[in-house]
Every structure is written in structure tokens, then in C-alpha cells.
Amino acid sequence: MLNKTNLIYLILLGILVILIIAVVAFPAKEQNATQTFQDLPTPTTVQVLPSPTSNTPIPIISPTNTGGNEDVPQPTLDYSLQKETLRRKTSLKTVAFTISFDYSNDRFIVTPNSPNSLTSLDSPVFQSWLKQNYPLLPMSQFVLQ
């Protein structure tokens, strides 16, 4: 007679034989190794520019192109270039005064270096400096502190 352990082994052996027959009789579909992927993007090429050397000039972007449809008048362009140039130089120190820029009010702050050097923005020292260096900037852009 069969005892319980032999019965369990016989049942497991039967299940194993059935699984082997099923795998051999019904093989899995082979996947095509040359399957094409149509959802992937087409590869593109990228042109790599050489890094600038001492012989190649660095391109300068012209400030006249605003990206819009209308052209900026030349006086407006000249004014904005002078204002930007002075703003980049702040805190500018001269013998008589120091100029800084107040971003919240969009004005240049003129501070005298000594109490007697400037009493107002109409002083000849400041007026001549402004006329020589930034003639397009109006006096309304400056505030005496």
C-alpha cells in the first residue's frame, strides 16, 4: 500500500509531467529580433561649432534688433546705451562725487565726496563731466544725495 508521503510524491510527479508536456506541446511564440519601433523619434544630427580661439572674432549681437516688428529710433537707442553703460559702471567714483544707481526709482544717485565739492547738480563740475561722458542723459535721471 501507499503511505501518505509516497502519495504526495506521486501527485507532485504527475503535476510536473503535465507541465513538461504543456511546455513542449505549446511552445511560446518567438519574438522577432528585427522588430521595428515606429514610435521612436528619428535621430538628428547636431552641428558642433568650434570654440573661439584668438584668431576667430567673438560675434557681437547688435542692440538694434528688438525682436519686435517696430524699429527703435536711433536717439532712443543711443540714450538707453549710455544709461546702461553708466549703470554698469556704478559705483563710479570721481574726484568730486560718487555715482550709484537706485533700481527702485530708476535714478542715478550723486553723492559728493566732500561737503564743498557739490552743492547742487547744476554745479559746473558735474555739468561738464556729464556733458563730456554721457551727453544724452537728462538731469532728471540724477538725484543729489
Among the residues of 1-145, which ranges form H helices? 4-25, 74-89, 124-133
Domain contains 118? yes
| Number of domains observed in the structure of the chain | 1
For residue 29, the 8-state DSSP code is P
Does 111 fall in a domain? Answer: yes
pTM value is 0.49
Does 128 reside within a domain?
yes
**Domain annotation covers residue 24:** no
Range of the domain at 80: 74-144
d(CA 38, CA 59): 41
8-state DSSP, 61: -
Is 124 part of a structural domain of the chain?
A: yes
- At 114 the pLDDT is 81
**Which residue type sits at 66?**
T
Predicted confidence (pLDDT) per residue in 64-117, tens digit: 555 555 677 888 888 889 899 889 988 888 888 889 999 998 999 988 888 777
Residue 59, CA atoms < 13 Å, CB-side half-sphere? 5
| Domain presence at residue 45 | no
| Spatial distance between the Cα atoms of 74 and 77, rounded to a whole number of angstroms | 5
In terms of pLDDT, which residue wins out, 95 or 43? 95
**Domain-embedded: residue 54:** no
Q: Is residue 47 part of a domain?
A: no
- pLDDT attached to residue 18: 92
Residue 61 to residues 12, 58, 64, 65, 66, Cα–Cα distance (Å): 81, 10, 9, 9, 11
pLDDT, position 108: 92
Quote the pLDDT of residue 121. Answer: 76
